[in-house]
Amino acid sequence: MIKRIAFLGCGSMGEAILSGMLASGFKPSAVIATVRRAERAQELASRYGIVAIASDEDAEANQQAVKGADVVILAVKPLGIADLCREVHSVLPPRAVVLSVAAAVSIEQMEAALPAEQPVIRAMPNTPLKVRRGVVALSAGSRASDSHVALAHEVFAGSGLVLDVPEDQQNAVSAISGSGPAYAFYLAEAMAAAGREFGLDDDTAILLARETVAGAGLMLAQPGADPAVLRRAVTSPNGTTERALATFEEQGLPGIITAGAQAAAARAAAITSELSGS
Ligand SMILES: NC(=O)c1ccc[n+]([C@@H]2O[C@H](COP(=O)([O-])OP(=O)(O)OC[C@H]3O[C@@H](n4cnc5c(N)ncnc54)[C@H](OP(=O)(O)O)[C@@H]3O)[C@@H](O)[C@H]2O)c1
């Protein structure tokens, strides 16, 4: 069981994980978070009742935060991960599992920047963790035991679905579920824009699009829901929806979505190479 957890970096993703954990009953007194800016630290402390330290004010914020932690979450941007590992290298409790949520940073890169025996787990979460509907894929490093993996599952268990995947699938996961919430928001934006084309006012167009995507999401969230079955159930032969879907197909929308996901995965692979200096 997790007794003390440190978040090194707590922006959009760190806060999604934190809020999901707290909503599922984890105690704020067991959490310490670091960020760069003092105002962000104050915001997190007052919103969640946790201890939050700003590295702009305290150069040893990250080193302080990891003391006594059994889980250390790395949630800064990918480019900052190796530096952060080196920064806390000398003070990490040997038993602490280091759990990185950074896209594109490999386990090998983190293990190289951490003490020789430090267990490492790479995770790809998504922001619906905030509303306890996240998806997280975990890949354990060579030094992580089953009990370390269990601690990582515990971090996310109350806030979404947790899967174990081989590390070589992490870029695919990132392209589908890591970036995926943005695709769904983009769909809602595009639907609202289509509504405005019909002359709907802004508020009505965005309301229709937002509630429709959210409602469809709730239907998809039912156990065993199949998107193709749900789609067919609202598509009458020769009806209006069928005409729209046929137009999406004719104009190549499935291929466009695949191309977007492939571009996301390719970008992740390129970042991994950039970080290795190759
Ligand atoms: N956002 C997503 O949907 C998503 C999905 C999957 C994975 N991820 C991964 O999550 C990680 C964080 O992304 P994000 O979207 O949460 O970025 P973000 O909102 O920019 O958050 C980064 C956080 O790191 C803090 N920070 C920067 N340097 C620091 C340092 N030296 N010490 C302590 N804190 C520091 C920042 O502090 P300030 O707030 O003071 O600037 C901020 O709180 C990335 O590696 C990304 O690949 C994100």
Mutating to test ligand 1, I would choose from 51, 76, 85, 133 the residue with most ligand atoms within 8 A of its C-beta, which is 76
Is domain 5-168 in CATH 3.40.50.300, yes or no? no
pLDDT at 278: 53
Can you give the three-state secondary structure of the chain, one letter per residue? CCCCEEEECCCHHHHHHHHHHHHCCCCHHHEEEEECCHHHHHHHHHHHCCEEEECCCCCCHHHHHHCCCCEEEECCCHHHHHHHHHHHCCCCCCCCEEEECCCCCCHHHHHHHCCCCCCEEEEECCHHHHHCCEEEEEEECCCCCHHHHHHHHHHHHCCEEEEECCHHHHHHHHHHHHCHHHHHHHHHHHHHHHHHHCCCCHHHHHHHHHHHHHHHHHHHCCCCCCHHHHHHHCCCCCCHHHHHHHHHHHCCHHHHHHHHHHHHHHHHHHHHHHHHCC
Task: For residue 232, report the distance from its CA to the centre of ligand 1, in Å.
Answer: 40
pLDDT at residue 153, rounded to an integer: 96
Q: Give the integer Cα–Cα distance in Å for 197 and 250.
A: 21
Pick the atom of ligand 1 nearest to 78's CA.
45
101 CA to centre of ligand 1 in angstroms: 9
Q: Which atom of ligand 1 is nearest to the CA of 181?
A: 3
Residue nearest to atom 48 of ligand 1 (CA): 13
Span(s) in the chain for CATH 1.10.3730.10: 180-264
Spacing, Cα 240 to ligand 1 middle (Å): 43
Q: At 156, list the tokens.
A: 């996310």
Name which residue sits closest to atom 8 of ligand 1, judged by CA. Answer: 102
User: What distance in angstroms lies between residue 76's CA and the mean position of ligand 1's atoms?
Assistant: 4
Residues of the chain with CATH 3.40.50.720: 5-168
Q: What is the pLDDT of residue 40?
A: 98
Round to whole Å and give the CA distance between 71 and 207: 41
Q: Which residues, in sequence order, are CB contacts of 255 under 8 Å at separation 6+?
A: none
Q: How far is the CA of 81 from the centre of ligand 1 (A)?
A: 10
- Considering only CA atoms, which residue is closest to atom 41 of ligand 1? 36
Q: What is the pLDDT of residue 24?
A: 86
Tens digits of pLDDT across the chain (278 residues): 999 999 999 999 999 999 999 998 999 999 999 999 999 999 999 999 999 999 999 999 999 999 999 999 999 999 999 999 999 999 999 999 999 999 999 999 999 999 999 999 999 999 999 999 999 999 999 999 999 999 999 999 988 999 999 999 999 999 999 999 999 999 999 999 999 999 999 999 999 999 999 999 999 999 999 999 999 999 999 999 999 999 999 999 999 999 999 999 999 999 999 998 75
Q: Is the dihedral of CA 164, 165, 170, 172 positive or negative?
A: negative
Closest atom of ligand 1 to CA, residue 14: 16
The pLDDT value recorded for residue 277 is 78
**Domain at 180-264, CATH from 3.40.50.2300, 3.40.50.720, 1.10.3730.10, 3.40.50.880:** 1.10.3730.10
